[in-house]
């Protein structure tokens, strides 16, 4: 149905894995969620995390190295924002996580709280969730 499958690209796979590794830390994931909606200085981000500014800056450096955040300087302050398409990455990861949790709990896939929020925000994206077939039950 018009889905294009890209051929295997070792360099592309390495870049994708680097991005996923950068997002794999809960603090960095939370930073990206915060930055996907607005531009914020390090001090505000540290407050959101409940962490020191130095630790937050290290997380931001890792995200910047992976190309997930952009920054700009205004006087002595540095403001960060999520790079384009990061919100989509976070939403897809949440949808997959919700579906996995739903399957593990025996619930209908896509019924998790993030899936519901995404469905409310973007119904077309929510319909794209691939639903796993229900396991066969023995009688």
CA distance 139 to 76: 69
Ranges of CATH 1.10.10.10 domains, the chain: 10-82
**pLDDT for residue 127 is more than 50:** no
CA distance 110 to 127: 9
**Quick one: pLDDT at residue 130?**
44
**Quick one: pLDDT at residue 129?**
45
For the full predicted model, state whether its pTM sits above 0.75: no
**pLDDT for residue 112 is more than 60:** no
**Distance, first Cα to last Cα, the chain:** 36
Domain 10-82, CATH: 1.10.10.10
**Quick one: pLDDT at residue 39?**
97
pLDDT tens string 62-99 = 999 999 999 999 999 999 999 988 998 999 988 888 88
**pLDDT for residue 135 is more than 90:** no
DSSP structure class, residue 106 = T
**pLDDT for residue 111 is more than 90:** no
How many residues in the chain? 139
pLDDT tens string 23-71 = 999 999 999 999 998 999 999 999 999 999 999 999 999 999 999 999 9
**Quick one: pLDDT at residue 46?**
97
């Amino acid at each position: 149905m018009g889905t294009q499958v890209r051929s295997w690209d070792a360099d592309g796979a390495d870049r994708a894995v680097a991005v996923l590794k950068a997002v794999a830390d809960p603090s960095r994931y939370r930073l990206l969620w915060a930055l996907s909606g607005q531009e914020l200085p390090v001090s505000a981000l540290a407050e959101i995390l409940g962490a020191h500014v130095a630790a937050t800056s290290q997380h931001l450096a890792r995200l910047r190295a992976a190309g997930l955040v952009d920054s700009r300087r205004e006087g002595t302050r540095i403001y960060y924002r999520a790079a384009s398409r990061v919100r989509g990455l976070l939403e897809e990861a949440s949808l997959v996580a919700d579906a996995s949790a739903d399957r593990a709990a025996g619930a209908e896939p896509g019924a998790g709280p993030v899936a519901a929020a995404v469905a409310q925000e973007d119904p077309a994206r929510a319909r794209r969730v691939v639903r796993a077939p229900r396991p066969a039950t023995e009688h």
